[in-house]
Structure 1
Amino acid sequence: MSQVTGGVKRRYDSTRRQQQALENRRRIVRAACELFAERGYGRTTLADIAASAGVAVETVYAAFKNKPALLHRAWDVTVVGDDCDIQLLDRPELREVFDEPDLPTRLRKLAVVNTGLMRRTTALRRAVEDAAATDQAAADMLAEIDRQRLESMAAHAEAAQATGRLGVSEVECRDVLWTTTDGSLWHGLVRLRGWTDERYARWLGDLWVAQLT
């Protein structure tokens, strides 16, 4: 009996440790997202992140090894809005966009989704941009962010071309979508000029419909 009990206890302890490790990772990533966006990537140390997350700095190193790895994870979580390993293009909100047969309606739906994405990611992206001039890890991360976004916009452009309603080439569609989704337009109109997200999404959708259909 004691052996069985001991076995159960060991399994329970293992599960508890795994749950605690997962919660620590979430707290670390959440703290990193906030501090990178508020203070900047270069001015935020792993010790700062550990203190904000309420863990030892050794816990941060054990979970992520170094600051560039933590930045990468922080960006991934910020983009999708959670820590589930489901790619953005496979998320329900974007599958709904791709499933829309009418291209103008699809572009307007995409504008709504993108506006939410800009609200989540723009502050962190700007922090990476600021650091990229002097930090190679940040520069590499920025290049990767833009490469992934170009791939996503290429997928949208290919699907748009398939509708037969696209008024420009597939490549031009991709490039227009890519150029207008880096966060700078959202930051200028919403953060600096005081537009609401709803107004911005309507404007962006109208812009895409006018330019691309």
Structure 2
Amino acid sequence: MSEGVKRRYDSTRRAAQARETRLRILEAAHELFVAQGYGATTVAEVAAAAGVAPETVYSAFRTKLTLLRRAWDLAVGGDDRDVHLLERPEVRAVFDEPDLRARLARFARVNTAIMRRTAGLRLAVEHAAGADPAARELLTEIDGARLDAMGAHARAAATTGRLAVPETTCRDVLFATTDGALWRTLVERRGWSDDDYAAWLGRLWVATLVEGLDLEG
């Protein structure tokens, strides 16, 4: 093996190892923030749970707040690819569905999967926001991004000509039902399955937002 090939191999392996370490840290942080709260969790505890030194966590993320932000990004997307949520294949498939009722049902399934990943962490951010201005700012950013995303869904829904409500109402209904509170109540507290929740949420959106549900099937 030539030196050039060996160096490329070593570099690729180190990059893969660094990525694995970052993911392990983020997963540990997510679990601890949900279990004991953001404020009560120390970087040392995250490092111990991830099996690394605290210095490794600081080197990768610098601050605990950045760790929270990156943990949120990972939870929303489901992986560490630098791809905006609206551009991910599962979400593009929602937009590509021409029938609005089928689109909302598909979106409900996608959103339920996102709630499974994010609802607990969002609650941790909400609790931290009461005492931590930086966490409060993050929560505002999270909700701002979600409102923008629901606006995109509402605009796309309006182009189908099947909305029973104004576009802004559609946006606000979607926004009000995607912050994790409904999922936590029905799935975590009342014991619904994710499949049951997604089916119900899809029916709720269709009944509220889609016109012409009589003789058109």
- TM-score, normalising length from structure 2? 0.92
Q: 1:155 and 2:152 equivalent?
A: yes
Q: How many residues are matched?
A: 210
Aligned to 1:60: 57
Aligned to 1:176: 173
Deviation at 1:200, TM superposition (A): 1.0
- Distance between the aligned counterparts of 2:7 and 2:103, measured in 1? 52
- Distance between the aligned counterparts of 1:11 and 1:143, measured in 2? 42
Q: 1:120 and 2:124 equivalent?
A: no
Q: 1:133 and 2:130 equivalent?
A: yes
- Amino acid of the structure 2 residue aligned with 1:82: D
- Distance between the aligned counterparts of 2:200 and 2:8, measured in 1? 55
- Distance between the aligned counterparts of 2:103 and 2:6, measured in 1? 53
1:1-213 paired onto structure 2 within 5 Å: 10-213=7-210
* Deviation per residue, 1:59-96 (Å, 9 max, x gap): 11110000111111000000111111111111111111
- Distance between the aligned counterparts of 1:116 and 1:6, measured in 2? 46
Going from structure 1 to structure 2, the CA distance change for 1:13 and 1:199 (only over 3 Å counts) comes to closer
Identity score, percent:
62
- Amino acid of the structure 2 residue aligned with 1:133: G
CA RMSD of aligned residues (A): 1.4
Deviation at 1:12, TM superposition (A): 4.4
- Distance between the aligned counterparts of 1:77 and 1:54, measured in 2? 19
Deviation at 1:56, TM superposition (A): 0.7
- The runs of 5 or more residues in structure 2 that have no matched partner are 211-217
